[in-house]
Structures are given as C-alpha cells and as structure tokens.
C-alpha cells in the first residue's frame, strides 16, 4: 500500500485492463510501428531507389554503396587506420584515394572511357561528386537503357 500511495494520483477502476500501443494511431501493436520507433530516422538519399533495385547484382550494389558513402577501403584510407601499407596505386604509383582509383588513374580512366563509349555516353569521367550527381539525374527510372547503364556502371566500379 505504501508503494501505491507514493505513485501519485492514479485512478483505479474495477474494469478490465487494456493494453494500448502508443506508437500507432489506433493503439494496436504492429511490427511496423515498432520498427519505426526503434530505427534511426535519416533522410533518404536520392540514389537509394535505383541502387537497391532488385535488378542489380548484390555484391556490385554493396561496393557501389560503399563508394557513394565514401567508405571504400582504399590504400590511403586504410593507412589512416594505422596499418603499415603502401599508399601507392597498384596501376600507376600515385596516392590511391577513392577519387584517384576510380577517376584520376590513367588505367581506370581508360576503362571508364571504353565502358561509357559502349553505353553510348560520350563524356569523360571526372571527380566523384560530379559523377554521383550525374548518376542521380540520369539513372532513375525503369527504361531498359537506364537499367543496362546502372548494371554496367556498378560492374565497372566493382571490378576496378
């Protein structure tokens, strides 16, 4: 009885107890509402929908996702973690960063030029931030050519 008196002004009734789930509008428990409460809410990125499409190869998607997040384990990045490794690019001996590996290296620039020409895109690859914007603007939607372009670009990213 002492515990109840310390709790404050509660109204006790003789009616039936009812469970109320406050995370949904109707008070009913739903797994989706629990997931919505538990997960961290972050704004959607504009490239998520086409990147995580069912038509893409999962390992290519994952590496492309790492690239979009600027989290690829390049030699330069790994060396900053304290590992004693060479930071030189395997292809040209320059500092291997994400931008260099995919766009500035002579080897990868040649690969990109061939891939883009085969896709009918006559442009040269530039800095990653510029290329990311190009992807967001040009790879949305379901037309076959866009799907093929997405798969080819992700495959190239994976294999470089």
Do residues 67 and 143 share a domain?
yes
pLDDT single digits (tens) 93-111 = 888 888 888 888 888 888 8
Report if residue 63 sits inside a domain: yes
Do residues 29 and 69 share a domain?
no
pTM of the model: 0.69
User: Is 7's pLDDT higher than 50?
Assistant: no
User: Is 8's pLDDT higher than 60?
Assistant: no
Report if residue 43 sits inside a domain: no
pLDDT single digits (tens) 127-145 = 777 888 888 888 777 788 8
Report if residue 133 sits inside a domain: yes
The three-state DSSP-derived secondary structure of the chain is CHHHHHCCCCCCCCCCCCCCCCCCCCCCCCHHHHHHHHCCCCCCCCCHHHHCCCCCCHHHHHHHHHHHCCCCCCHHHHHHCCCCCCCECCCCCCECCHHHHHHHCHHHHHHHHHHHHHCCCCCCCCCHHHHHHHHHHHCCCCCHHHHHHHHHHHHHHHHC
Do residues 84 and 117 share a domain?
yes
């Amino acid at each position: 009885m002492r515990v109840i008196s310390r709790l404050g002004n509660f109204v006790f009734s003789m009616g039936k107890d009812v469970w109320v789930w406050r995370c949904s509008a109707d008070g009913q428990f739903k797994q989706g509402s629990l997931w919505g409460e538990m997960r961290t809410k972050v704004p959607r990125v504009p490239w998520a929908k086409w990147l995580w499409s069912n038509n893409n190869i999962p390992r290519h998607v994952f590496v492309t996702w790492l690239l979009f997040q600027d989290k690829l384990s390049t030699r330069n990045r790994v060396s900053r973690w304290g590992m004693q490794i060479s930071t030189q690019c395997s292809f040209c001996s320059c500092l291997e960063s994400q931008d260099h590996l995919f766009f500035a290296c002579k080897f990868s620039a040649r690969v990109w030029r061939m891939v883009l020409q085969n896709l009918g895109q006559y442009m040269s690859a530039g800095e990653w931030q510029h290329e990311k914007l190009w992807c967001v603007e040009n790879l949305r939607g379901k037309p076959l050519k866009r799907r093929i372009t997405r798969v080819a670009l992700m495959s190239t990213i994976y294999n470089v």
